[in-house]
Every structure is written in C-alpha cells, then in structure tokens.
Amino acid sequence: LLCFRLPLVTPLIFGLLLQPPLTQLSIITQPNIVLLMADDLGIGDVGCYGNDTIRTPNIDRLAKEGVKLTQHIAAAPLCTPSRAAFLTGRYPLRSGMDAINNYRVIFWNAGSGGLPPNETTFAKILQQQGYSTGLIGKWHQGVNCESRSDHCHHPLKHGFDYFYGMPFTLISDCQPTETPEMDRAFRRKLWLSTQMIGLFTLTAVLGRLTGLIPVCWKILTCLAGFSLLFFVTWFSSYGFVRYWNCIMMRNYEVTEQPMVTDRTTSLILRESISFIERNKHKPFLLFLSFLHSHTPLLTTEKFLGRSRHGLYGDNVEEMDWMVGQVLDAIDKEGLKDTTLVYFASDHGGWLERQEDKRQLGGWNGIYRGGKAMGGWEGGIRVPGIFRWPGVLPAGTVIDEPTSLMDIYPTVVHLAGGKVPQDRIIDGRDLMPLLQGTVVHSEHEFLFHYCGIHLHAVRWHQKDSGAIWKAHYVTPIFSPPGAGACYDRGFCPCFGEGVTHHDPPLLFDLSQDPSEAKPLSADTEPLFDTVIRKIGRAIEEHRRTLTPVPEQLSVYNVVWKPWLQPCCGTFPFCWCDKEGDN
C-alpha cells in the first residue's frame, strides 16, 4: 500500500515546496523591526517622491523593493508632538504633548515636561514580548521630572533597553561656528534689556559721583544688584546652550558635554550597526532616529559639495548613505527576509530656515506649506516606505491616507502583543493594506492640529474616492504670498498670525493635492453636505478627549538647573568619554 501511494505523495510534497513564499507572515511570527526616521526631511527631497536632483539611491531602493505610501501623514508639524504620537499611536493632545502656547516643543534637557510615564510606547510592548529594543539618535521627549537622576521621561523608562544619542535635538547652537538658533528673538530682547538696565545703572552711578543726580548709595547698590541678578538669571541658561542641550548619552550616562559634532554621524552609524550585530540571534527593534536633516546640517567632509543643493542636499545624501549602510548590515547578517524596514520623516521640511541666501531647510514638492504648519499638506505629508521581502509586494504604491500613528498598532501586532485597551489608540494596523488584502485605509477622518488648536480635518470618502479637507484656521504668510512665514521664522497656531475661516476652506485632495483652488457652495454641489459631515466628526472626536497635564506649559518648558543632566559636578559639566575611549 505504501509503495502504491508513494508516486502520488511525492508530487504533492514537491508542489508544496515549490509554492511561492507569499505568506511568510504566518511563519515569521516576530520579525525584526528597523524604524528609520529623518528629521525635518521634506517629501520633495527624496528621489522616489519626485526629486531628480538630490541623489537618494538607498531610500529609493527601499521603495522599489517594498511599499511606498503617498499620503503618509504626521500627527503634528513639529518634532516633539509628532514623535510623541509616533511612539504612542495617539494624537499628542491626548498625552499633553501639544502646546497651549508658543513653546511648541521641548526647549531644554533641563525642562520638566516630557512623554508622561503613564504612556505606553510600542517599544515597551515589544520589550514585554521578548524583543531587544534600541533607540539610536534623537529623542526630544524629555529627560527628568523632579531631579537630575529620576530620568522619568528617558528612553529607558519608555521601553528601550539601550539608548545612544541626543536626549534633545540638534540645533545650530551645537555648532560653535553657526549663528545661534534657539529662541533667537527672545535672546535678542534679553540682551537689549540687559544693556538698557546696565546703562541706566551706570548713568545713575555717574550722576551720583558728579552730584547731578541726588540718589543714595543704598538705592544704587540695590539697582546694581538687580542688574547683575537679571543678567545671571537668563545668561546661566541661554549663555550655555551648547553645554546644557548639545549632549550625547549612552543609556543614563552623559558621554559628551558638549557633543563633538565632527564625529557624531560616525558614532550614530557605528552604534546602529553594532546593535544589529549584537541582537541578530533574537527579535529586535531598532529605532534609528537620524539627526539629519535638521540644522546645523552636520555633514562629514566626504559628502560636502557633492550635491546640487548646497549643504542641505549634501546632508540628505549623507543620510541616504547611512540608510544604505544599515541595510547592508541587515543583509550581511542574513536578516533581510526576516526584517521589516520602515522609513519616514517626522514632519515636513522647514521652508523658513535660511541664513543669508542659503536655504537650510527642506522642500515639500507640490504641497503647500511646511514645518510648523498644522493644516497645510507640506507640513504634515511625509515619505512613508515599508520593506519586508516575501511578505510585502515589491514595487507597490498605495495612495490611501495613512498616519505615522499607524506604526504603533502595526508593530505591536507583528510582535504578538496587544494594544492597550484602557485608552484610545488613534493608529490603525497597516498590514492588511500593505499586503493588499484590503483596498482602503481604515482611516475615515484624520484631525490636523497646530498645538492644541484644530486647524484642518481630512475626510476619506471611500465610496467615491474623494479626499476632502476642510481648513478652519490657516497661518498668514509673511510677506504676503510668500508661501511661508519668513518674517517670523515659524508660522503660529493662534493669535494675530492666523486667519479663521467660516465656512472653512474646502479642497478635494484627490483632484487638487496642492490645495490651490478652494471649493465653495457655488462650485461644489456637495459643499454643504461635506462640511456638515466633517462638523459631526469633529464633535465626536472632541467627545473622546479628556483633560491631561500640559507637558509643554511654560513651567514645564523653562530651564531648571536642578534637572540639568551633567557629567560632572553641576555647574561644571563637561566631558568627552568617547574621546577617552
């Protein structure tokens, strides 16, 4: 009987073995996950999104071998809130990580605000599922709460086993040769006030000495003391920005204070590859959070002058090379088919970032607006690329609304975990869409905030294919018609710098992705219906919001010396432990 059945069984076995590996997902239950996030990169800066002058062959290769998203949306147009949403899968408003004032990001390592300890990041869930979890590069989600050693906002308290990088963000103050960037206008006002107080004090003293001003020495002493106290109060923070904010850490240890910018790129790349090599025998999560392409655009000599777009283009091309090095490390360890790779930017390019005639910010292609603008596409539409050979179909382009918040449930489900049930998760699992088992994104509405202010809402009308977008608030560009807020440096979220629209400006992004031609009741028969539908969605959305502590309040944002990370005895904080090694 066995001999009779063998000729029948043998072809069946060979047939099963020769089946194409279309569903490796059922075999690879816990893939490695590598998340690559650029800083301030515009969607128009990447070759596979239409740029034909900046060379990005490695990012383009990811798109060719994987899935490219054309409507990938950041939950906020600035670093801190966007990354908080990415890590938690929730609008930053829900965790208190969006601003009620003009301080819209974390300003100091020694501030007390940051990603709240009660938020559950995807890293924490993957850590519980047995993953080795590492963050290399930028954090910008806070460090301490009450003392310089509590590390309540630190990456290691949010699910990462290993951290190497900047707890803050790269700024021009980190480069001694660059013009200071941080709070530039406010710093000028402080200098001017100091000079005026000093001049007034000096005039009073000279008047007393010459007998022209009858004032007692006690008053002059108090006035001089006040002048000195005023200067020391603000200069102790703003005068040492490079020492307080431009630091590198390994886990809880400060390794460079201030950071040595000439070697930062090579160290971040070395740490990333080392993390892959150390953890190749078990599932790992690597979040490589690039310092590129944020000013001051740290670029090694090898890449200077190589692009056709000055220093910014050089910096983007170097980042692309770093992406290639990470992909090569994955290939070298034989992990390509068991690793999901994701590439994105945290928000749109910074149009206003210029020095003299040099453009130091990114380009957002055909999309209107840029960084800091909560409603216009240029501030929130970013590159989004996934690669997982054998699981995700290569060369696929998906033109459906997706969000950076979607990474949260996607990687949690891939790791075999469950999203928290005690809070609202705004992201949606992308695997069905990426694999092609569904046609449409799960998102019907996406809400676009600028700080805590709702600026725009997107409605994906799936039955018609229309993507309606209503703008309730838009920034006033300066100078008029310029396309950005060049006179301010950043577009504001509220106040005199914005326009409120009633009825809202309405666009159909499926026909007008550049948001150039607003519709009206006269030109669009569905205008009133669409506005009512979006209005009801806003009401439902607002019912899901609950009050939480404001992490970016003025108190939480200001510099507090007792919270300052320090590798020595405060205030004598300087070290170079990488150089010592």
Residues belonging to the active site: 79, 140
Kind plus residue range of the DSSP H or E element containing 534: helix 527-543
Kind plus residue range of the DSSP H or E element containing 96: none
Q: Is the preceding peptide bond at 11 cis, omega within 30 degrees of 0?
A: no
Q: Which residues contact 551 (CB under 8 A, 6 or more apart)?
A: 95, 96, 97, 113, 114, 115, 116, 142
Cα–Cα distance for residue pair 368/381, rounded to 1 Å: 10
- 3-state SS, residue 45: helix
Burial letters 32-57, b for 16+ CB under 10 A, else e? bbbbbbbbbbbbbbbbbbebeebbbe
Cα–Cα distance for residue pair 372/382, rounded to 1 Å: 13
Cα–Cα distance for residue pair 388/496, rounded to 1 Å: 48
**CA-wise closest residue to 35 among 476, 385, 342:** 342
Cα–Cα distance for residue pair 142/151, rounded to 1 Å: 9
DSSP 393: P
Cα–Cα distance for residue pair 473/530, rounded to 1 Å: 17
Cβ–Cβ under 8 Å, residues 250 and 256: no
Cβ–Cβ under 8 Å, residues 570 and 147: no
**CA-wise closest residue to 244 among 103, 106, 108, 141:** 108
Cα-trace Rg, the chain: 26
Cβ–Cβ under 8 Å, residues 365 and 44: yes
Q: Which residues contact 405 (CB under 8 A, 6 or more apart)?
A: 75, 85, 86, 88, 89, 90, 91, 425, 426, 427
